[in-house]
Amino acid sequence: MSQAPRQGEQPPEGRGPADERRGAAALLETYHRLAPVTVPLYALLLALLVGAGVMLIAGANPFEAYGALFAGAFGNPERLVRTLVRSTPYVVAGIAVALAYRAGLFNIGVEGQLLIGGLTGVWVGTMSALAGTPAVLYVPLVLLAGALGGALWAGIPGVLKARTGAHEVIVTIMLNAIALRMVDWVVTSREPKILLDPDASTPRTPDIVPAGQLPDLVPGTAIPVGLLLAVAIAAGAWYLVSRSTLGFQIRTVGTNPSAARYAGMSVPRIIIVSMLISGAVAGIGGIIAVNAGDSAHLTPGLLRNVGFDGIAIALIARGNPLAVIPAALLWGSLLSGAPLMQVQADLSIDLVRVVQASVILFVAGDMIVRTLFRIRPERGAGGSPTPAATGWGAQT
Amino acid sequence: MAQDTAPPRAEEHEPEVAVDTARGGLTGLSRLEIIGGLYLLVGVALAWLGVGLPADAIALQFGVGEIAPSLDLNPAVSVPVLAGLIAASGLVGILDRRLPRLAVPALVAGTVLVVPLVLIATLSQSGVPQTNVITLLGESLRLATPIALGALAGLFCERAGIINIGIEGMMLAGAGIGFVFYGLVGQAAGGWPLYAAVVVAVATGAMMAALHALMTITFRVDQIVSGVAINLLAIGITSFLRRQVIIPEGLGGGVTLPTIDLPGLSSLPVLGQLFTGRPIFLSMFVIFVLVQVTLFRSAWGLRVRSVGENAHASETLGIDVVKTRYQAVIIGGMLAGLGGAWFSLETVGTFDDVMTNGKGFIALAALIFGKWRPWPAFGGAVLFGFSEAFGARLQLLGAEVAGYPIPAQFLQSLPFVVTIIVLAGAIGRAVPPANVGKPYERSR
Amino acid sequence: MVEAAPAARRPVVLEARGITKRFPGVVANDGIDFALREGEIHCLLGENGAGKSTLVNVVFGLYEADEGELLVRGEPARFRSSADAIAAGIGMVHQPFQLIPVLTVWENVVLGAELTRGPLLDRAAARERVAELSERYGLAVDPDARTGDLSVGAQQRVELLKALYREADILILDEPTAVLTPQEVDGFFEVVRSLLDRGISIVFITHKLREVLAVADEITVLRGGRVAGAADPATATQASLAGLMVGREVVFGVDKSPASPGEVVLATEGLTVTDERGVAMVRGLDLEVRAGEILGIAGVEGNGQRELVEALTGIRQPLSGRITISGRDMTRATPRRIADAGVGHVPEDRGKDGLVASYPLDDNLVLNGYHRQPFSRRFVMRRGPIREHAERLIADYDVRTPSAAVPAGTLSGGNQQKLVIARELSRDLDLLVVAQPTRGLDVGSIEFIHRQLVAKRDAGVAVLLVSAELDEILNLADRIGVLYRGRFADVVDRTEATRESLGLLMAGARTTEEVA
Ligand SMILES: Nc1ncnc2c1ncn2[C@@H]1O[C@H](COP(=O)(O)OP(=O)(O)O)[C@@H](O)[C@H]1O
Ligand SMILES: [Mg+2]
């Protein structure tokens, strides 16, 4: 071809120093290749620095505060378990966001889907008609109910996006608001009484009957089986996305819907299916969150921000379901360690929110991290891998 | 080259047919036909239900005092009439092929009629079957203030091509930091620190917006992701400050911005109430006019819009895309900050966690509802304000359905449902600025 | 290379010295020297990717050169943005146009150099000025029209007005004729000449040899980012210019034997297709393509070609009419069903519709076949067969790539297109629908792709070729249908078609009744 001279040939190199250079170059290459791992780590580091800055302004000693935070999260087996339990809903919420994200959908609605899933699960779990059902049946039934509830709530934006082009971000924001109010009504309304537990001191639903509650993983350890379930969901989601034909379609629709359509994939179908799966996962997450410790009931504020945190976690994991697990652990440990930090360093627990927001900013703004740490930008498609901001407003 | 040698592009000669009228999808029906059918059904159903309403007259008062006109209506008649009109608008929608110019206005009118219908129907179920419409309107406008300001904030950003779902965070930061300043400098006791605090709130909004601009314009972070981060950051910073500063210092319950009577206007007979209000509320109207003029009549506004539509074309004309976008986003942030001040400095006189309570998101909905135009967006904001005002009024009126009080949560949810319907393209099509969401990289 | 132009002539108004511009992986301009003389037309000739646009973008201040300098009227100039270039009296009509469709004509024209009264736009003055300019230069256009509603020709007039409004005396025209019919090109040249008479100097970019010889005062040929040579319009021939442009002897035309058409494979009856705004772009079209023939669809872009192709391949639902493929009704079939019926589709916009840029080549090669054996079993993808398939096609279709695992987006345009061609042509086909198969490609890839299309025809496949390049149609087609406003102006046998006759048909002149 006539373009040959422009293909940027390697100049011939001599021996000796060149080998050394090649060794250094290989190291550098490894450095660049590790970017998917190192960039989030650097981002975390920068976010912790921002947090330290805030601590200094507030007159606290960052080392002390972070020490307390760490001890609060991992200091003894009991705290470790609490951290794990705390992280579990985030794993599931993160996967729910990540799955939709791979299909090019920004599911801000996980917040509402968790709530609705939790609600339908508690509803089935407290149904008097089902009393006496054995646990082997009842637990899956409750999970199924949660999954269906979440899927329904995610299906609405899915169908609207697929059929009318309404942007899922706005629709899910609206549905979050509606879910919050609906659950608030169902859980607090006295007249008519729907799911309110009349004997409880604060507005909440009754507990799911024991046969419907998630059992402990190892009896007596207070580690619920939800943890195992979350890991299984992560593994399943990973397999679905990266190995199955459905996953291939989801990824194609997510990166280039136009090419997907030309290749004979049904983009509307994939959008709807992805949202349904995402919502079902979120619904299960709602059940897992409801089954916290000894209790298994829903309060209006129980799932507050879990869905939004799921977004952050999915972003840190860059949509990879397996990477969601460590990211969610980070989240859970920050939150479960914060109370000790508050006591020991006299810093409000809300500080970890600042750290968390900075983590997202630095992870999403990986150009900042890459510039600071001299990691070369991603090759290929270029730009941000998030297709979220495309198709804003209504379009087909 | 003369006009007659123009290339033969079909569209130049064909009348343009709106997408709404194109048959498509599975049903082979046009969008307007589907929506029209829906309205027809709903209208007929409501009319049928309305006939069963109690025939005791309800009173709609316009203003207070002797001269205030009052409208006595029989719900069993007026509700079916309104419902019939809604059904009629649906019919026009169905016939859009015959009445192409009428369908959309008719459906819009049909939608607006839902407001008086709900009002009358609810009053008829209430123990106190009368209400002051002007007060309700005034309250709706007042509650619409942060939504409207937030929508304008979004308008500036999105017209310049930057999606802003961080309006909520910008408002919250404005509310929180503005109040912290007010508390620390003026002990929340009024006086000049109160006004300075409003300026601080505006500046805080600007700074949050500058961060959003930095992330999205300079570092080309996905604009929605950056917005999410802005919201989280605002929650973190403000609740941190609240527990670290506001609570320990015992700030709160302070003096808010005073009520102002607009000379002359506020003493008008029926409408006078509408011209009495607090400064941020009143300034909202001025700001709307200013925004409209700036965006659509000034040279800078033309540039903002061009940058949002086609950044590269603007660049080839020597326009500094980056600078223009920064300016627009930051001005947007200032408006959001002012909207935040409405909560802490104008309305409550204290700061609570997440006190903006999702209004920033509703503002975004109002913006899209208004299809990225100032006045329709204002209409959307007032609609949301109305549903909130009406929800509050409902508690007072004690309206009941089937023996139970109407849950406030239902009324509060209504605007969200309406937004979803609008978003689904029920009435016309929302076309965002063409370059919105697209990161811009300067050619170099 | 011999400098053919006479020595002392008019003064040089614009000079580029040793311009070098690198993009990641490509040296787009490599030490280019170029000089434009006052009141002359200087043609920049070169095939796609030669670096013409890059050079003028550097001149216009959009790109910053890595090396080299610019002189405007003898003075060194450093442009930090196009604002500086505009201030120096340079105007440019870009490829593609840089207009804002939702704004009116006058808004587009004044944008960036607005006439104001205080802080507000002076609309009346702006309208008046635009009307006056369009009168003076014979560029008829309504100042209040919405720019997006205008025809391509009218949009081009708006682009010219933008430059003239800014009082440019150096005008750069980047491939202005690519969007015009042959007759319109003649009209356009008249406008260009009248601009010269008013003392404006013009850089005219094209890759069409005929045009160069028609208008140029001076010719510079670029190849692979370098100046391949200069030529004197008085003595140059199309063959000599083509040699300079491509760097070797070019064969005009493709060797092919006469077609031996068989059964009708594709037929449409009364096909009407609307675009996304609901405007009918294909209007009651009847056509037939037989096995073993290439039907070329010519026409100015925007006369329904895109909608026709999309309807035939199931991407767009037709409003009415019938599509029959190999005897089966496919009017409302999905793209998947049509593809499975033995229809290959090479879409117009390969980057957007044909490929997923971030996917490796092997995934791209099963983009529409992943669901079939052996690439997947049940619901699971199988890497091994996918990789083997890719390696075979990469070899067969001469795709130049380091491996099958690199993202498709890293390949050159020619190799990306070969990838799409490989995927579509390697299937068992009855019908092949190709749109603009060689747009923006280098001559080597063009020749390769043309040979592949003819080979498919000879193997008995029915081929529908849509192209905006008349030369491509004339080279490949056995029959030619000219689309004009969604209908055939005529369908003629290749042997009866000439550039001129097709040009007239493209402009809407109807010779015989529709017979397809
Ligand atoms: N903005 C850009 N980024 C990267 N590569 C580019 C860019 N613009 C042009 N190129 C590359 O530079 C070369 C010359 O392109 P161009 O100047 O557009 O050629 P021409 O206008 O002669 O067709 C091509 O290989 C093209 O891919
Ligand atoms: Mg070019």
DSSP calls for A204-236? -PPPPPGGGSPPBSSTTS--BTHHHHHHHHHHH
In terms of CATH, what superfamily is C264-506? P-loop containing nucleotide triphosphate hydrolases (3.40.50.300)
If you average pLDDT over residues C11-33, what whole number do you get? 93
* Cα C361 to Cα C405: distance, rounded to the nearest angstrom: 6
Specify whether the backbone of C234 is left (phi greater than 0), alpha (psi in -120 to 50) or beta. Answer: alpha
Q: Which two tokens stand for residue A53?
A: 């800055």
Please give the share of chain C, as a percent, with pLDDT higher than 90.
72
Closest CA to B131 of B396, B431, B432: B396
The pLDDT value recorded for residue A353 is: 87
Q: Kindly identify which residue of chain B lies nearest to residue A383, measuring between CA atoms.
A: B220
C-alpha distances in angstroms, C81 versus B316, B319, C63, C86?
8, 9, 8, 9
DSSP letter for C300, please.
-
> Cβ atoms within 10 A of the Cβ of A199, count?
6
Question: Residue C83 pLDDT more than 60?
Answer: yes
pLDDT in tens, C224-233: 899 999 999 9
Strand C320-325 and strand C264-274: the pairing is: antiparallel
Strand C462-466 and strand C280-290: the pairing is: unpaired
Q: Which two tokens stand for residue C188?
A: 């356009």
Q: How far is CA C370 from the centre of its chain?
A: 31
3-class secondary structure per residue, A305-357: CHHHHHHHHHHHCCCCHHHHHHHHHHHHHHHHHHHHHHHHHCCCCCHHHHHHH
Same domain, B185 and B319: yes
Task: Write the CB contacts of C59 (distance below 8 Å, at least 6 apart in sequence).
Answer: C14, C16, C70, C79, C85, C90, C172, C203
Same domain, B203 and B326: yes
Average pLDDT of chain B is 84
Closest CA to B383 of B137, B177, B34, B172: B137
The pLDDT value recorded for residue B273 is: 74
Task: Write the CB contacts of C312 (distance below 8 Å, at least 6 apart in sequence).
Answer: C266, C268, C323, C338, C343, C433, C464
If you average pLDDT over residues B202-217, what whole number do you get? 96
Task: Look at residue A188 and tell me if it is in a domain.
Answer: yes
For residue C410, which residues of chain A lie inside 8 Å, CB to CB? 379-380
List chain C domain ranges: 1-89+169-250, 100-167, 264-506
Task: Look at residue B393 and tell me if it is in a domain.
Answer: no
Task: Look at residue A281 and tell me if it is in a domain.
Answer: yes
pLDDT band at B282 (very low <50, low <70, confident <90, very high): very high
* Cα A157 to Cα A165: distance, rounded to the nearest angstrom: 10
- Point out the least confidently predicted range of A278-282, B3-7, C390-394, C484-488: B3-7
Question: Residue B162 pLDDT more than 90?
Answer: yes
The pLDDT value recorded for residue B429 is: 52
Atom 4 in ligand 1: residue holding the nearest Cα: C23
The pLDDT value recorded for residue B14 is: 35
Q: Which two tokens stand for residue A336?
A: 């479960």
Same domain, B199 and B121: no
* Cα B139 to Cα B133: distance, rounded to the nearest angstrom: 10
Q: Kindly identify which residue of chain C lies nearest to residue A265, measuring between CA atoms.
A: C336
Sign for the CA dihedral angle at A159, A164, A167, A170 comes to negative
Q: Do the Cβ atoms of A367 and B219 come within 8 Å?
A: yes
Question: Residue C73 pLDDT more than 80?
Answer: yes
Give the Cα-Cα-Cα angle A38, A44, A45 (nearest 5 degrees).
Answer: 90
Question: Residue C429 pLDDT more than 70?
Answer: yes
Q: Do the Cβ atoms of B244 and A348 come within 8 Å?
A: yes
AA identity, residue B360 = G
Task: Look at residue B354 and tell me if it is in a domain.
Answer: yes
Same domain, B227 and B155: yes
Domain total in chain B: 2
For residue A348, which residues of chain B lie inside 8 Å, CB to CB? 239-240, 242-244
Q: Do the Cβ atoms of A364 and B222 come within 8 Å?
A: yes
Same domain, B117 and B241: no
Q: Do the Cβ atoms of A6 and C27 come within 8 Å?
A: yes
pLDDT in tens, B311-321: 999 999 999 99
Task: Look at residue B333 and tell me if it is in a domain.
Answer: yes
DSSP labels for B343-402?
A: IIIIIISS--TTTTTTHHHHHHHHHHHTTT-HHHHHHHHHHHHHHHHHHHHHHHHT-EET
C-alpha distances in angstroms, A122 versus A139, A197, A224, C28?
11, 12, 17, 64
Neighbours of chain A (3+ CB pairs under 8 A): B, C
- Point out the least confidently predicted range of B293-307, B425-439, C116-130, C194-208: B425-439
* Cα A116 to Cα A180: distance, rounded to the nearest angstrom: 9
Q: Which of A291-305, B82-96, B255-269, C369-383 has the highest mean pLDDT?
A: C369-383
Low-confidence ranges of chain A (pLDDT < 70): 1-21, 377-396
The DSSP bridge partners found for residue A224 are A216
Please check whether residue B143 is in contact with residue B389, taking contact to mean a CB–CB distance below 8 angstroms: yes
Q: Which two tokens stand for residue B237?
A: 């910073």
Please check whether residue A352 is in contact with residue A309, taking contact to mean a CB–CB distance below 8 angstroms: no
Q: Do the Cβ atoms of C302 and B10 come within 8 Å?
A: yes
Task: Look at residue A18 and tell me if it is in a domain.
Answer: no
- Point out the least confidently predicted range of A248-252, B11-15, C257-261, C289-293: B11-15
Closest CA to C108 of B320, B303, B285, B370: B303
CATH number at residue B173: 1.10.3470
DSSP labels for B68-125?
A: --EEEE-HHHHHHHHHHHHHHHHHHHHTTTTSTTTHHHHHHHHHHHHHHHHHHHHHHT
Of B128, B155, B181, the residue at which a domain comes to its end is B128
Please give the share of chain B, as a percent, with pLDDT higher than 90.
41
pLDDT band at C252 (very low <50, low <70, confident <90, very high): low
Strand C41-45 and strand B404-405: the pairing is: unpaired
CA distance C378 to chain A (A): 9
Q: Kindly identify which residue of chain B lies nearest to residue A390, measuring between CA atoms.
A: B437
Atom 12 in ligand 1: residue holding the nearest Cα: C28
| Helices and strands in chain A: count of H runs, count of E runs | 15, 0
Task: Name the CATH topology of C1-89+169-250.
Answer: Rossmann fold (3.40.50)
AA identity, residue C376 = S
For C82, the closest of B14, B306, B318 (CB atoms) is B318
* Cα B70 to Cα B43: distance, rounded to the nearest angstrom: 27
pLDDT band at C251 (very low <50, low <70, confident <90, very high): low
Ligand 1, pocket residues at CB < 6 Å:
C 23, 26, 28, 46, 48-54
Task: Look at residue B58 and tell me if it is in a domain.
Answer: yes
**φ and ψ at residue C339, rounded to 5 degrees:** -60, -40
For B19, the closest of C87, C112, C276 (CB atoms) is C276
Please check whether residue C366 is in contact with residue C386, taking contact to mean a CB–CB distance below 8 angstroms: yes
* Cα A337 to Cα A359: distance, rounded to the nearest angstrom: 17
* Cα C148 to Cα C152: distance, rounded to the nearest angstrom: 9
Could you identify the atom of ligand 1 that is nearest to the CA of residue C222? 22
Same domain, B191 and B284: yes
Centre of ligand 1 to C-alpha C51, Å, is: 6
> Which range of residues forms the domain containing residue B68?
17-128
Instruction: Give the 3-state secondary structure of residue B63.
Output: coil
> Which range of residues forms the domain containing residue A222?
93-325
For residue B24, which residues of chain C lie inside 8 Å, CB to CB? 317
The pLDDT value recorded for residue B310 is: 94
Strand B400-401 and strand B276-277: the pairing is: unpaired
* Cα B235 to Cα B353: distance, rounded to the nearest angstrom: 8
Task: Write the CB contacts of A390 (distance below 8 Å, at least 6 apart in sequence).
Answer: A104, B437, B438
Of B370, B385, B400, the residue at which a domain comes to its end is B385
Quote the ipTM score: 0.84
For residue A1, which residues of chain C lie inside 8 Å, CB to CB? 400, 414, 442, 444-445
Same domain, B172 and B314: yes
* Cα C204 to Cα B296: distance, rounded to the nearest angstrom: 37
Question: Residue B19 pLDDT more than 70?
Answer: no
Q: Kindly identify which residue of chain B lies nearest to residue C185, measuring between CA atoms.
A: B1
pLDDT in tens, C315-343: 999 999 999 999 999 999 999 999 999 99
Tokens 């250079």 — which residue? A21
Atom 27 in ligand 1: residue holding the nearest Cα: C49
The pLDDT value recorded for residue C506 is: 87
Same domain, B88 and B124: yes
Could you identify the atom of ligand 1 that is nearest to the CA of residue C55? 17
Same domain, B80 and B215: no
> Cβ atoms within 10 A of the Cβ of C8, count?
4
Same domain, B123 and B143: no
Question: Residue B405 pLDDT more than 60?
Answer: yes
Task: Look at residue A150 and tell me if it is in a domain.
Answer: yes
Please check whether residue B208 is in contact with residue B356, taking contact to mean a CB–CB distance below 8 angstroms: no
For residue B434, which residues of chain C lie inside 8 Å, CB to CB? 101-102
For residue A103, which residues of chain C lie inside 8 Å, CB to CB? none
Task: Look at residue B134 and tell me if it is in a domain.
Answer: no
Same domain, B217 and B337: yes
Tokens 């490599």 — which residue? C30
Q: Do the Cβ atoms of C304 and B11 come within 8 Å?
A: no
Question: Residue C243 pLDDT more than 80?
Answer: yes
Same domain, B148 and B120: no
Tokens 């299916």 — which residue? A273
C-alpha distances in angstroms, A250 versus A95, A114, A393, C438?
15, 22, 22, 30
Which residues have their alpha-adjacent CB atom under 5 A from ion ligand 2?
C 53
Neighbours of chain B (3+ CB pairs under 8 A): A, C
Higher pLDDT pick, B357 / C418? C418
Please check whether residue A83 is in contact with residue A333, taking contact to mean a CB–CB distance below 8 angstroms: yes
Question: Residue B17 pLDDT more than 80?
Answer: no
B243: exposed, middle or buried (Cβ count in 10 Å: 0-12, 13-18, 19+): middle
Of B362, B385, B408, the residue at which a domain comes to its end is B385
Please check whether residue C471 is in contact with residue C495, taking contact to mean a CB–CB distance below 8 angstroms: no
For C225, the closest of A1, A6, A248 (CB atoms) is A6
Domain total in chain A: 1
Centre of ligand 1 to C-alpha C48, Å, is: 9
Q: What H or E segment, with its residue span, contains residue C129?
A: helix C123-136
Closest CA to C307 of C277, C333, C330, C337: C277
Higher pLDDT pick, C510 / A3? C510
* Cα C425 to Cα C421: distance, rounded to the nearest angstrom: 6
DSSP letter for C278, please.
S
- C264-506 matches C1-89+169-250 in CATH topology: yes
Mutation pick from A2, A7, A378 vs chain C, by most beta carbons of C within 10 Å, is A2
